[in-house]
Structures are given as C-alpha cells and as structure tokens.
Structure 1
Amino acid sequence: MLPLKEKDKPIVQKLLSAGCCARCILRFCCIRVQATYRRPQQDTLEELQTFIHSAENSQSHDAAAPETSGENNQSHDAAAPETSGENNKSHDAAAAAAVTEAPQEPPSKRAKLEPSGTNAASEGGDGNAAAAPRIAAGVKAEKYEFDSLVLSVSLPAQLCVREHSCWLHVKKEVREKGLVLDKDDIIPLKEAFKWIMQGLVSKELGGAVVVTKSALEVGVEFTHKETDADCHFLATVCPDCFKPAKNKQFESMVLVFPCRHFPCPPTQPSSCCSPQGVQCLHLSVFVAGRYNKFCRSLPQTPWLIDGERRMESSVEELIAAPVLSTFRAEGFNFSSSGREDVDVRTLGNGRPFAMELLNPHRSRLSRMEMKQLQQTINKSSDKIRVRDLQIVTRRPIQREDISFIGDIKELTLDQKTPLRVLHRRALAVRQRVVHSMNVHFLDPHHFHLRLKTQAGTYIKEFVHGDFGRTKPNLCELLRTDADILELDVESVDVDWPPAIPE
C-alpha cells in the first residue's frame, strides 16, 4: 500500500486529471519511501486510482481521473527517456522521475545511444527500466574496470518550466482545501531518479554498485525537440536574466513567472526524450617511482624550440608510453623532484617522479603486474631505468607536517632566473631572504602561508621550486609537491613616499 494520507487526495486527483505520471504524483505528495518509486508505474497508477475512488466525493472521480487505455493514455513526461515495453502508461507532463545536475564534459569518447523511434505513448513501457540497459551498454562499450559508479543525468532545461507549471496547478487546489504545500517539500527529481535507477543500472552491469561517490562517473544526457521552445518565452519576458549562456540562473528565476506565459497544467507531449549518449570519466590514477638516466643526449621532457623537436625522445615519453598502454589512460601529467639538464646523467638510486594518469580505463594492478610493467619500461630502452614503480594517492598533510614552517627564520634562497621570465631577464642566480613564515592548516591538501621576504623574492618559485631552480624551496622542506592556488601581496614595507593623513 502507498503511504498516502487524506490530505493527499486533492493533490492526487488534481495531478491525475492533468495526466501526471504516477511516480511524480508521489513526489508532489512528499512520499519519501524509496521502495514506492521502484514499483511498476502501472501498479502505482492503479493504486492511486483506488485511493481516489475511496474518497467520499468519489462520484466526481470520472471527471478527474484520466482514462487508462486507448489513444488518450499519453500522460508522458516531457523529459522521460524514450523506451518501449509493457507498463509505460504514466509519464509526467511536467517532469520525469529521473534527473540530476548536468555533468561536466569529460574527455572520454561517447557511446551513442540511438533512440528507438517508437512512440512510447502507444506501445507502453517503463521508461526507467528500458533506459537502464542503454546506460549499461554505453558503459560496457568503454571497457572500464570498476566495482562502483556515480550516475548523473541531464534533462532538458524546459523541464523546470513544466514542473513549475504543474506545481502552480496543484498549489491553487491545495490552498482552496486549506492545506500547505511548499515547493521545497516536493521530492526533487534528482532524488527520485536515484531511487528508481540505481538498482536497475546495477543489475544491468552485473552487480556494480551505483553510489553517490565513486571514481567512475557515468553521465547520460537527454533532449526533447518537441518541447524545446517551452522555455523560450523567458528570454522575451526577461531578456537580461535569460541568455543562451545563463542556464544556471534558469531554475531560480523561472519561479517568478505567472501562468499567463505558459499553460497550467502543461500540455502532454506526444513523444518522450531521446538519450543522446553516455559519457564516462574515471578519476585520475597516480603512479610514482624513481628513474635513472644514462644518456647525455636525452631531455627529461620533450624538447621543442619554435615548434620543432630537437631530440627524438625524452625520459617522460619513455616511461609514459608503457604506463599509458597498461592503464589504458587518455593522457598524463608528469612531474619529478627536480630535473637534470639534457647532457647530465642521473645515477645512484634515481630521481623520484610521479605521473597523473587521466581517465584511466584500468585503475588497479597487482604487485606482480606493477613489477611486470616496470620490467617492460626497462626493456624498452637502455637510456633509462625505473625502480620502485607503484600506485600512490595524493599525499595528504597533517597539522604537524607543516607546524615547523613557522619556526624558520631568515632563510636564504638561491634563485635562478625563473623559467617564466627567462625570455626577458638575464640568466643569473640571485640570493634572497625569507625573513619569516606563518602557516595555517585548512585541510589535508590545502594550507594558508603568510611570508615576509626580501624585496625581489620570487614567491611562486619558492613554493613549487621551479624544477629545482630555487633552492631550498617549500617542496623540499615539506618533502612533497606543492603549488600556489592564489597569491596576494598584503603590504610593501617601504617608508616612501610619505603617508598623507586622510
């Protein structure tokens, strides 16, 4: 039984008469029992109708409830996935039960999901149940290795207008009954989508868990050409608020527009949304180790001058090629603890390095597999050799890791002309002094550093080291990589020109 109350009857009746889908009626009734959204829509619709028939004013039901067979049974959401099946008899004219924030564009390839071209209104079928195999097919096509994923869906912007219109339609009825229904009380589409889709997608992917936080993000985007123009009136009514690039303002601003600009309740569309594709993006994987360089004509990174390559290879490329292939990553960022000139060898136990692998399709290797990868790199060239190859995580910091910085006074730096200004300043080594430092811990990856330095000190280079051109530097002091996110000059302590009283 649905957990409905007497106060919900006018809402159910009003939305049924408007052709709203069964699950969205539950949202407007503020039902938070997740299991109710996972039931077949037809079962939920029949129980809603039974609930209305049990009311004392059941004699008015025939005028309020929609027919449940034939061509008139087209209560479909303007933003529900296009599907086919048995039970698709109730889609919301205002909103689907599947939506979340639009995903950022990942660099991964898209596995296109072509619409079936069928009319879900006439064939019937649960849109969410039919969308799940398509989502799963798109993920499988990318061949990621994973145990869990985050699922995000982007639906058309016009959905906000249609849902608001439906709420205004219900709001009037609720007020007449002396009841209160705040829009914030309605179950968000995003939440309803999670409750419905997670189990379906998990089943299609062989048991992979759909969670709210995972290394793999799967995004699905839907469009609906039939209702594309539904929100265009906003640009006419308020051209300053609604511009093509201002979609983020859309949802908050649409609430001020009365029904005279848009039908209330919204008209029922004759077609469903079409999925445009599945986009997958995996969080970066970090690989670290040490390298030796035995060649006096091998740069650390690709050497390009005026767009022309000067050396046939580099340390970075010799290491990266096998690593990228093994992890099936789409790109990488290479960093090391300092660097050597092209004609300098690196012997001993080698130089520490780290690689950030972008969108890896494989994220875990056993110790034996990492050893085999290391051997593959070493066999590929006699110019380099790697050791201690391993998967690492971003190194967190604790308060005690940075507390010593405040005790450092009058630290003398040797700063070579930074690479960023070398094109306009002569190459030289300049000595500068950091008089004092004060540090404030923010979180395991961020802290606030306040410095008092001698005039002319290159602050950025002191923090990240400029590939070892500034010594000592903060990276060396902390024994980990560091860089600046924001830099402010708080004061320049010079007694000139004289201050003029305000």
Structure 2
Amino acid sequence: MADESVTAPVSNDQDTAVAAAEEMKLLGYAVQELPAHAVKDLIAQEVCVRCIFRLFSIHEGIYALLPPPILYSIIEKTKKVEDVSTKSTEDTENVNSLQSSQDSEMKSSICSVCVGVLQFHYHNENDNLVRKDHAEDFAMAVAESVKEKGHEIASFTLEVSLPTLITENEQMILSYIKENYASEVWFQEKFSSEHISVKDALKLSMTNPLEKLLGVKSGDSEFRIRLTFEHVDSTSAENKAGKNQGNKRIKSGISITGEDNGLVKCTNGTIQSGDVSDLKVVQPCHMTLVCSRSPIFIGGRYLKFSRNVSQTRWIIDDERKGEASVEELIGGNILPMCNGDGYKFHAAGREDIDVRMLGSGRPFLLEIQNACHVPSEASIKEMEMKINSMESNLVRVRHLKVLGNQGWSLMREGEAEKQKQYAALVWISRPIKDDDLETISSFKDLKVLQRTPVRVLHRRSPLDREKTIHWMKIEEIAGSCQYFLLHLCTQAGTYIKEFVHGDLGRTTPSIGSILGCRAEILQLDVTDVKMDTLTE
C-alpha cells in the first residue's frame, strides 16, 4: 500500500509532462505554418506573442502557460527570416540585430491589442504595476486574493470584464492585416476562421491553474470570481493629447493625435495603411478582483412576545420606535455566523408593533448577501439556540434551515393565499348578551370590504380590498360584562383592528356594526399562521 501511495503521484507527474511535451510539439508545428513576414510585422506593431498566436487561431492553450522568452524562442527557432541565407554577412547581422532589438523591446512593452491583459501585466488596487510571466503566476496571485477574503467554496465561476479599448485596437490590427495581406494565400487559410477573443483566451488560460490552486472545479457556480480590467478612456486621452501636442499629418491626410498614457489612433476612426505604426499603449489596465456569492436564504418561523418590538427597523426622524425589531434580533445574530456583507429580512405578512406573534410562528426568510460561510446543519442549530437563549426573550425562532431560491417564491405564494388565526381582547360599549355569542359564531366565510385604513394611508394606496372572515367565536371573560376574547380565522391581509372598530365606516361590516354598538380592540395576538409551504 505504501508503494502505491508513492508511485501514483509520480505517474501523474509523468502524464502531465508527456501531455505538456505533446502540446509543445503541436505549438511548434502550428508556428511553423505562420507567415514569417506577417509575424514580424505584428511584432513591429508591438502585438504580444500570445495575441499573435490567438489572432492566427492557434488553439494550443499551453502558450499562455509559457513565459515570453520561451514563446519568442519558439518563433526564432521555427521562423527564420526567409532571405537570411541569400544576404551577405553584413546584411545578415543587420537583420539579426534588428530582430533582436524588436524582440527585446517587445518583451518589455505593453501589447497594443490586449493592453497587457494576456501578458499578465496590470496595475493592482494600490496602483502598483504588477508583471507576471505566465498564467500560472497570475492564477496564483488571484487564488491568494480569493483565499484572503475567507470564502468557503465548493466550485467557482470565472468572470472577466474588459475595456472597449481592446476591441477597438484589435479591429484596427485586423483591418491592417487584411489591407496588407488579403491577397496572400495564408490569409484565406489562417484568417478566415474566427479567432479566440482576449476574454476567452484569458479564461481558458486561467481556469485549470485556478482549479488546482483552489482545489475546486469551475462551472456554473453561485460563487463568482470577477476580474475587471479598466483603462484610460481613449476619447478623453485623445482630446487631452490633441490639446497638449497638436495634430500631425501622414501621407494619407488622416489626422492622428499624439499619445498620452493610452492609445494613439485616427481621430475619424478610419483605418488606413500605416496607421497602426502609431498604435501604441503606454500603460496596462487597472485590474480589480471581486469575489461574490449569490445570496443564501435561511428560513424558519419567528415568535414575538413583546408588544414593543416592531417587525423591521422603525426609525422616524432619527428616533427609534420600540425597543428592538424582529429583523435586527434575528439578522444580527445570524449574519456574523455566515460572515456576509449584509442581510435582508422577508416575512410572510406582518404584524403591528403592539401585536404579539404566537402559535406556530410567522414564516420568514433571511437573505444573506455575499456570505463567506454557508452554514452547516450544526451551525443552523447553533444559530437557533443563540437566538432563543437571549436574555431579553423578545423573539424566538423555530425550524431554521438553509433554503434555496424557491423558498422566496413559496413564501410569497403563501402570504397571499393562506389563512391566519387571531385572538383579540375587545371592549364594547354595552354589556354582552347571550345572543351576541350566537350571532358572531353564526358567520361563516363572511365577506368584508376594507378601504385602506386611516392609520396606513401615508404608506399604502387608497384601495378597496375584499377579505374573508372564515369563522369567529366569542370567549367570555369571568367577572366582566363588556370585555371578551374574540377568536377569528381570516384571509391573509385582513386588517383585524379595523374589522373590530369599523375605522369610521371604512370597513363594512365590522364587529361594531354587527353588534350595534361601539367596539374597540385593546390587545391583539396572532395565534397561528396556517402556512406550511416553507418549514413544516
């Protein structure tokens, strides 16, 4: 067993080496077929080797993993200048000197097409210039940044955002190649097919190294690594350069602006022969890395025992109303355990600040934004215990669990369609009679028309809403003739307080109109919420 554990990795290393050697061989063959003069021309225009391979539709991805010196050596070994053998020694030395000078300058310059993206040259968030040799070095820097942010990930999606400058520069180079080489045979063979975009080339070169460094696979994931590359706005750069240096003329009569830390190109956007000789990028892009996770939803039911706790934060003119809120008591305890950026609280309906939420509890969802930690079943139980053991005992939770996005839609469906049960302490302006008990309990599926209550007109549209009172019954209170407990089951969204006192005639019928007297509600509790789609 010990021997197997040692030899297996060696075999894997050998397989990797063989695969790499095969890709190098294929890359060499592909480079041999490239037109030497066109490659030299692109190098003279400061197009990086990776962009040259990309524009010629070379798909062997290994070139992104090789440092520039090796890439240039592949070109130098496989693509000799065609007329070197026929030139004199002096001419040969001049050609070699020129090519060496071009290669040396190219290795240190910023690519005029990808603006340093495929060279892995960029300014970081501290505006420091960073230069990496190949994709693995760049992937290591990205992976370290991801790990520093503390995310627990099971997979990832790599997203890349590039400036439009790259597309514009590439179109200029492609137009230049077409104008100068369209009549040659290789152009139809090598440039007729679609080439790899800068974005796709970067993602292809980064995916495998990132998978190895992060220890997870890439794919359609809730966790996203987004690389955003930004560059100086070319229009503003041109305008600024034009003011500082003025315009210069070329033989075609096209006006070309001077350069200022960015691209130099035609002011009228027209591509003419020789224009790309002035195509030059001085600075690479600025890159920012952002890790984000799709929101996770933790659902359950809450019970509220205080008549001075609102459902959500209630602050008017910088003054808090009530001693706390259900939202803060639950979210404030769960958020730190998920290590997220923030949260949103969603509930299936709401109760007033002075209404207790009893019975089985009201369904809710807590939406945690960009959570670093996705809680396990054990963590969920710990959250529930922490909330329920608070000394204040204002709020308790039940049936906490991690839910998918479907939890939100299920809760909203239930909010509109399910029933709720209430218990209200009611006072009436006359002594209660035996007939009152029978009258109230005789109503089944009573239709009630409710105009938007006066107390919520400042935040609700003035509408007429029809609601259903499914059943009611009165429970007498010993020793009291004008107080009783009203138990009722209603359609979700019914205004219970207004159903009792009538709201100046805005709710009809009401308990007051049915009994023919004044009626006031003194205390109200939600005793049960018949919504089982979420947690039970």
**TM-score with structure 1 length normalisation?**
0.63
Aligned counterpart for 2:465 among listed residues 417, 430, 440:
430
Structure 1 residue 213 corresponds to structure 2 residue 224: no
Which residue of structure 2 lines up, in the alignment, with residue 389 of structure 1?
Answer: 400
Which residue of structure 1 lines up, in the alignment, with residue 45 of structure 2?
Answer: 18
Q: Please give the secondary structure, in 1, of the residue aligned with 2:41.
A: helix
* Contact 1:415 1:431 (8 Å CA) reproduced: yes
* Contact 2:117 2:284 (8 Å CA) reproduced: no
Q: Please tell me the residue identity of whatever aligns with 1:135.
A: V
* Contact 1:49 1:65 (8 Å CA) reproduced: no
Rounded to whole Å, the distance in 1 between the matches of 2:367 and 2:406 is: 13
* Contact 2:302 2:362 (8 Å CA) reproduced: yes
Rounded to whole Å, the distance in 2 between the matches of 1:295 and 1:397 is: 27
Q: Please give the secondary structure, in 2, of the residue aligned with 1:185.
A: coil
Structure 1 residue 285 corresponds to structure 2 residue 296: yes
Equivalent residues in 2 for 1:450-489 (5 A)? none
Structure 1 residue 417 corresponds to structure 2 residue 446: no
Equivalent residues in 2 for 1:486-501 (5 A)? none
Aligned counterpart for 1:8 among listed residues 2, 25, 34:
34
* Contact 2:43 2:102 (8 Å CA) reproduced: no
| Structure 1 stretches lacking a partner, 5+ long | 77-88, 100-110, 237-253, 403-411, 434-464, 471-475, 481-502
* Contact 1:158 1:228 (8 Å CA) reproduced: no
Q: How large is the Cα RMSD of the aligned pairs?
A: 4.6
Which residue of structure 1 lines up, in the alignment, with residue 383 of structure 2?
Answer: 373
Residue by residue, what CA displacement relative to the aligned partner does 1:253-303 show, whole Å, maximum 9, x if unpaired?
x9993225993145444x552545322222111000111111122111122
* Contact 2:155 2:219 (8 Å CA) reproduced: no
Rounded to whole Å, the distance in 1 between the matches of 2:202 and 2:192 is: 18
Structure 1 residue 168 corresponds to structure 2 residue 175: yes
Q: 1:98 to 1:116 in 2, by over 3 A?
A: closer
Structure 1 residue 194 corresponds to structure 2 residue 203: yes
Q: 1:226 to 1:311 in 2, by over 3 A?
A: closer
Q: 1:133 to 1:420 in 2, by over 3 A?
A: farther
Q: Please give the secondary structure, in 2, of the residue aligned with 1:126.
A: coil
Instruction: Give 1:353 shift.
Output: 0.7
Q: 1:23 to 1:187 in 2, by over 3 A?
A: same
Residue by residue, what CA displacement relative to the aligned partner does 1:24-75 show, whole Å, maximum 9, x if unpaired?
1111111223234333332222222333228688769978889565686222
Q: Please tell me the residue identity of whatever aligns with 2:113.
A: A
Which residue of structure 1 lines up, in the alignment, with residue 358 of structure 2?
Answer: 347
* Contact 1:38 1:195 (8 Å CA) reproduced: no
Which residue of structure 1 lines up, in the alignment, with residue 520 of structure 2?
Answer: none
Rounded to whole Å, the distance in 2 between the matches of 1:112 and 1:42 is: 28
Residue by residue, what CA displacement relative to the aligned partner does 1:416-463 show, whole Å, maximum 9, x if unpaired?
628998228898863289xxxxxxxxxxxxxxxxxxxxxxxxxxxxxx
Instruction: Give 1:113 shift.
Output: 4.4
Rounded to whole Å, the distance in 1 between the matches of 2:194 and 2:111 is: 18
* Contact 1:17 1:66 (8 Å CA) reproduced: no
* Contact 2:299 2:407 (8 Å CA) reproduced: no
Which residue of structure 2 lines up, in the alignment, with residue 487 of structure 1?
Answer: none
Rounded to whole Å, the distance in 2 between the matches of 1:8 and 1:182 is: 11
Q: 1:394 to 1:156 in 2, by over 3 A?
A: closer
Q: 1:68 to 1:287 in 2, by over 3 A?
A: farther
Q: Please tell me the residue identity of whatever aligns with 2:388.
A: N
Q: Please tell me the residue identity of whatever aligns with 2:215.
A: G
Rounded to whole Å, the distance in 1 between the matches of 2:456 and 2:273 is: 58
Rounded to whole Å, the distance in 2 between the matches of 1:129 and 1:147 is: 21
Q: Please tell me the residue identity of whatever aligns with 1:207.
A: G
Rounded to whole Å, the distance in 2 between the matches of 1:220 and 1:144 is: 16
* Contact 1:289 1:354 (8 Å CA) reproduced: yes
Q: Please tell me the residue identity of whatever aligns with 2:30.
A: L
* Contact 1:149 1:213 (8 Å CA) reproduced: yes
Instruction: Give 1:320 shift.
Output: 0.6
Instruction: Give 1:171 shift.
Output: 1.4
* Contact 1:332 1:355 (8 Å CA) reproduced: yes
Q: Please tell me the residue identity of whatever aligns with 2:165.
A: Q
* Contact 2:296 2:402 (8 Å CA) reproduced: yes
Which residue of structure 1 lines up, in the alignment, with residue 111 of structure 2?
Answer: 92
Structure 1 residue 75 corresponds to structure 2 residue 106: yes
Which residue of structure 1 lines up, in the alignment, with residue 483 of structure 2?
Answer: none
Q: Please give the secondary structure, in 2, of the residue aligned with 1:375.
A: helix
Q: Please give the secondary structure, in 1, of the residue aligned with 2:75.
A: helix
Of structures 1 and 2, the larger Rg is shown by 2
Instruction: Give 1:136 shift.
Output: 3.0
Equivalent residues in 2 for 1:185-334 (5 A)? 185-203=194-212, 205-209=213-217, 211-223=218-230, 257-260=269-272, 263-269=275-281, 272-273=283-284, 275-334=286-345
Instruction: Give 1:182 shift.
Output: 5.7
Give 1 or 2: higher helix fraction. Answer: 2
Aligned counterpart for 1:145 among listed residues 152, 155, 172:
152
Q: Please give the secondary structure, in 2, of the residue aligned with 1:74.
A: helix
Q: Please give the secondary structure, in 1, of the residue aligned with 2:332.
A: helix
Rounded to whole Å, the distance in 2 between the matches of 1:304 and 1:397 is: 26
Rounded to whole Å, the distance in 2 between the matches of 1:394 and 1:426 is: 29
Q: Please give the secondary structure, in 2, of the residue aligned with 1:361.
A: coil
Q: Please tell me the residue identity of whatever aligns with 2:207.
A: Q
Rounded to whole Å, the distance in 2 between the matches of 1:420 and 1:175 is: 77
Instruction: Give 1:391 shift.
Output: 0.6
Stretch moving more, 61-70 or 321-330: 61-70
How many percent identity over aligned positions? 25
Give 1 or 2: higher strand fraction. Answer: 2
Instruction: Give 1:190 shift.
Output: 0.7
Rounded to whole Å, the distance in 2 between the matches of 1:220 and 1:279 is: 7
Residue by residue, what CA displacement relative to the aligned partner does 1:341-373 show, whole Å, maximum 9, x if unpaired?
2222222221111111111121x2221111011
Q: 1:423 to 1:224 in 2, by over 3 A?
A: closer
Q: 1:330 to 1:259 in 2, by over 3 A?
A: same
Q: Please tell me the residue identity of whatever aligns with 1:51.
A: T
Q: 1:57 to 1:30 in 2, by over 3 A?
A: farther
